[in-house]
Each structure stands twice: as C-alpha cells, then as structure tokens.
Amino acid sequence: MSKKKKILFIHQNFPAQYKFLADKVSKVSKFDVHSLSLNSPDTLKLFELKDKYPNVTHHKYSIYKENVKGLNRLAVEFETKMIRAEAVASKALELKEEGFEPDLIVIHPGWGEGFLLKEVWLNAKFLTYFEFFYNTKDSDVDFDLQEENRPNYDFELRTKLVARNSPFLSSLSQSDSMICPTEFQKNTAPLEFRNKINVIHDGINTEELKSKKDASVTITKRKADNTDEQLILTRKNKVITFINRNLEPYRGYHMFMRSLPEIIEKHPDAYILIIGGDGVSYGAQPEKESYKIQFYQEVKDKLPAQNNILFLGRIPYNYLLSVLDISSLHIYLTYPFVLSWSMLEAMSLECLVLGSKTEPVEEVIKDNKNGLLVDFFDHKEIARLAIDVLNNPDSYIKLRKAARKTIVDKYDLNSVCMPKQLELIERLLK
C-alpha cells in the first residue's frame, strides 16, 4: 500500500479561497490533508474547523511580536509580513520535530506566511494562489485619480507599491506552480513568471446557485414618520441591486450613486437595494465621512424626498443570494482589479448584469451576449441602460439565460474548476 501524500493548506483565515478545494482533497483517500491558520479571535477556532472539515488535521500559529515604532514607512508592511513569516516558520519547525513533512504546500502569499518555509521543508512543492501584483501605471491605482483623493499620481504611493510587491516576488520565485482565478489577474504578474500561473477559477456551485421561481425578500423600511414598514419584494417588483464588500470608488459606488437620480425620476417605484459596509477595502481612505455617506450626500438633493433607496449593510450569504434572485438588474462596476465572486454568482442566478467596460469584467461578460457593458465613468449611460431594462424586461430574458450558461460552461465548481484544480495537484505530486 502506497504512502499517503501529505498536503498542507496555509492561510491566516483558513479556509478562505480553499473552502471547496480543501474539503474535496481531504476526502481523497490517498491524501493526508492538514491546515495551518492564525490563532486569533477573528479566525475559526480549532473545534469549528474540525466540525466543518472533519477529514483535515488543523494546526494554529500565534504571533507574539509587534511592529517596531518609528520604522521607515516603506518597511512597515514588509516587517509585518516578516513577523508573520517568522511565526509560521516557528510552528513549522515544531511540526517538523513531530515528524510532519508535507509533500505539497498550498498557500496564499498575501500575508507573508510562506516566506521562510522553503528553509523548513526543503523538499516540499509549493502551489501558490496568485491573486494580484501591484503595477504602478495603467492599472487600478491610476485608473480613477480624481475620486481617489490623488489629483497628482504621487511618488509616495508608487514607492509604497514597489515595496509591497517585494514579498510577492519572493513567493513567485519560490513557487513550483501557481493558480489564479482570471486571465486579467494573471496578466498583472511580471512577464517572466506568467508561465508558472494556471488560470483556474475557485469555482461557482451552480447546482446550489439556481434561480428560484418563488424567490422573495423581506426588508424593513423606515418611513418618514420614523415607523417601520415590512416590505416583501419578489420578481414582480422593479429591483436594482448593487453589492460591494465596502461601498467605495474601487467598486464604482460613486458612479452608481450618480446614476440614481435619473433612474428614480423615470421609475420612482423601483427599489434600489445596496449591500455593503461603510469602511474601505481597497484604495485611499476618504478625507472626512465614509464614501457611503459622501456619495449619497452628493446626489441627495436630486432625489425625491420619498425614495426606495435601501442600504442593507452586510447581510448573511443566503439572504444576499435571495436579493440577487429577485433582481431586475444587477449593476457591477470595478476598477481594473480582482473580479468579485458576487458578479459570477449573480450570473449563475440568471441576473441581468450591467458591468463596467474594465478588463476583469470584459473577460466574462460580452456586451449584449450574456450581459451589458458600459463605460465605468459614464453614469448617464448607466442610467439610460437601467431605465431601458426596467421599461422592457422581457427584451433581456435571453441575456439572463446566457449569463447562467456562461457560468455553468466555464466556471462551474464541480464539472470545470474542481477537476482542473485536482489535476494540477496530482501533476505537482508526481
């Protein structure tokens, strides 16, 4: 009987991107699967991991050091990653002492966790998750300078990005192979490393993400007299959806808000459901109030006093899917940056998506074939197309069907993405 191959998944917030892959690999009898994640109040506890992934042996590492005060600004982020790298290496040495030798390490390099592991496990293969490489021109950081509070694309930011990339360059060189969700993201990498990168999306579970004919959403709306009204919305209502982790320029929140006065003028009975927090995930911090408040205040006087713009905040995942399921139009805008899962999930649910003409979106959506595309900065055109969709919903049924077909054919978890991921792991272990 052949010896089981040992696979170690490393991610501070395990399972993260390995939600499906780790579970699948752990059920293959010839693999002995382990995870290593950060021991903190914000990550899953060992008992939770054991419950969710019973076939995986879970380990935790802890951080005991803090950043040195007064460090050079370009070195702070690097030092943070090295503190993390040292903590992971310490735990790895402990596991090595216990006889654990992984054949394959599957890792996300974003926090520096794997920086020193080649010196612990000399013979392990590394499969790295390649998410993004920061370029200083013709990229996300110089796409929308006005809204990013940087009228002059400054030297300080560019040098910070160069420093931020240094640990990634190490991970690129150490990797035996890499996996990346989209061609756009792969093409952000330095040319000399791209031959290592396999474009395989994490996968969309299209069997679970199917549109339900009886889908509905119950929402509490605060009325002008400060009393609450319970709304039950279905596909019979006019519903426009917009989703960001946080409502910010990187994901086009400002352009979306600027389109609303015209949309609501033509369709005052439309419900605008906005999902997301009021922090910042990407890019510059706002100068004063949150972007959510800032861009709402910008258009507030152009809106009727009574309107159906509803900020739902961050909501449970299943509730989010129900919101998408009743959507008449889902608007997804983004800088040239990592493509959001929510857009692909919306398409799997047969949403009609109006997306920005930016590379990550154009990789998936073909205009008037499986969705609609619009210039990111043209909020008037966003409004015009949205109005037409609400005026003529039946004219877009074919696009909805084609959207789901695209996801089933190219991004389905079980028939497309998972087999490719498993094949890559098998190839590395040979």
pLDDT one-digit tens code per residue, 6-47: 999 999 999 999 999 999 999 999 999 999 999 999 999 999
Domains 5-203+413-429 and 217-411 share a fold: yes
Q: Say if residue 319 is exposed, middle or buried (CB neighbours under 10 Å; 0-12, 13-18, 19+).
A: middle
Dihedral sign from CA coordinates of 132, 138, 141, 147: negative
- Ordered by start, the domain boundaries in the chain are 5-203+413-429, 217-411
**Dmax of the chain from CA atoms?**
74
- Residue-averaged pLDDT of the chain: 94
In sequence order, the 6+-apart residues with CB closer than 8 A to the CB of 128 are 107, 108, 109, 114, 171, 172, 174, 175, 177, 178, 179
pLDDT one-digit tens code per residue, 289-325: 899 999 999 999 999 988 899 999 999 999 999 999 9
152-160 long-range contacts (CB < 8 A, ≥24 apart) are 159/74, 160/73, 160/74, 160/77
Yes or no: say if 246 and 285 are a contact pair by the CB < 8 Å rule: no
Residue with tokens 């983004």: 334
For the ranges 95-109, 164-178, 218-232, the lowest mean pLDDT is seen at 218-232
Higher pLDDT residue, 285 or 234?
A: 234
pLDDT one-digit tens code per residue, 415-430: 999 999 999 999 999 8
User: What would the two tokens of residue 267 be?
Assistant: 């369709």
SS (H, E, C) 317-355: HHHHHHHHHCCCEEEECCCCCCCCHHHHHHHHCCCCEEE
Number of helical H runs and strand E runs in the chain: 13, 15
Given CATH 3.40.50.2000, say whether it is the number of domain 217-411: yes
Beta bridge partners of 57: 34
Question: What is the reported pLDDT for 9?
Answer: 98
pLDDT one-digit tens code per residue, 183-214: 999 999 999 999 999 999 999 999 999 999 89
pLDDT one-digit tens code per residue, 352-393: 999 999 999 999 999 999 999 999 999 999 999 999 999 999
pLDDT one-digit tens code per residue, 52-99: 999 999 999 999 999 999 999 999 999 999 999 999 999 999 999 999
Is pLDDT above 90 for 253?
yes
Q: How confident is the model at residue 133 (pLDDT cuts 50, 70, 90)?
A: very high
Yes or no: say if 86 and 80 are a contact pair by the CB < 8 Å rule: no
Residue with tokens 């917009």: 242
Given CATH 3.40.50.2000, say whether it is the number of domain 5-203+413-429: yes
Question: What is the reported pLDDT for 148?
Answer: 53
Mean pLDDT across the stretch 222-237?
A: 85
User: What would the two tokens of residue 56 be?
Assistant: 């995986």
85 φ/ψ angles, rounded to the nearest 5 degrees: -60, -40
3-state SS of the chain: helix, strand, coil percent to 5?
40, 20, 40
